[in-house]
Structures are given as structure tokens and as C-alpha cells.
Amino acid sequence: MELNDYQKAALATAIYPQEKKIIYPLIGLAGETGEVADKIKKEIRDRNSEFGTDSRREIAKEIGDVMWYLASLANDLGYTLDEIAKMNIEKIQSRQHRDKIHGDGDNR
């Protein structure tokens, strides 16, 4: 599936108050990212970081929820996922080309 196709399909299920656009998917993104982290934490704690097939699938489902909120947030900001992905690759490649992968700061 292509990113923009996913975004269109995700947006067809996006039901939240438009006066809360941007903030609503941001809160959802934070929550779902926390769920991914929590599932991974429990694998480390309870299963010695084994990450079996079932646990990987459950984590993947949570990553899907992260994607849904990313798709909604990008849309609310006026971007497609393809545009976001392209901007990110250009940024990372520029840092690599300029030997600025390491370090901190958004505009290095």
C-alpha cells in the first residue's frame, strides 16, 4: 500500500471534532506511541526480550495506530504522508551528506 492511499483510507475513518483538529490527533499519537513503548517494555521485563511472533504482531498493531494518528495529523497540517516522507528523507540525506547525522538541533 502506498502512503497516500493509506492516508486516504485512514481519513475515511477519522471522526473527531474539527475544532480540535491538530490537537486531537497529537494527543492520540502520544497515547499510541506510549502503548508501543509499553508493549516493548513488557517484553523486556516479562519475556527477557524474546519478542515472539504473537508479541511482534501486537506491537505491529499498535504501530498501525500510530500511523493512523500520523496520517490524521499530517492532513490537519495540510500535508500528505508522501510529502512528509519526502521531506524527512531529504533532511536526513542532507545531514548525512554534510556529516551532521550526529549531534543535536533540528536544523543541523
pLDDT at 70: 98
pLDDT at 103: 78
10-residue averages of pLDDT along the chain (108 residues): 97 97 98 98 95 96 98 98 97 91 77
> Nearest 5°: phi and psi at 58?
-65, -40
Q: Which of 36, 25, 88 is nearest to 61 (CA)?
A: 36
DSSP track, 12-42? TT--S-GGGTTHHHHHHHHHHHHHHHHHHHH
Compute the distance between CA of residue 38 and CA of residue 97 in angstroms, rounded to an integer. Answer: 35
Domains (ranges, CATH) in the chain? 3-97 (1.10.287.1080)
> Nearest 5°: phi and psi at 104?
-140, 170
Long-range CB pairs of 1-6, under 8 A, 24+ apart, other chains included: 2/82, 3/80, 3/81, 3/82, 3/85, 4/80, 4/81, 4/82, 6/67, 6/71, 6/81
The pTM of the full predicted model, rounded to 2 decimals, is 0.89
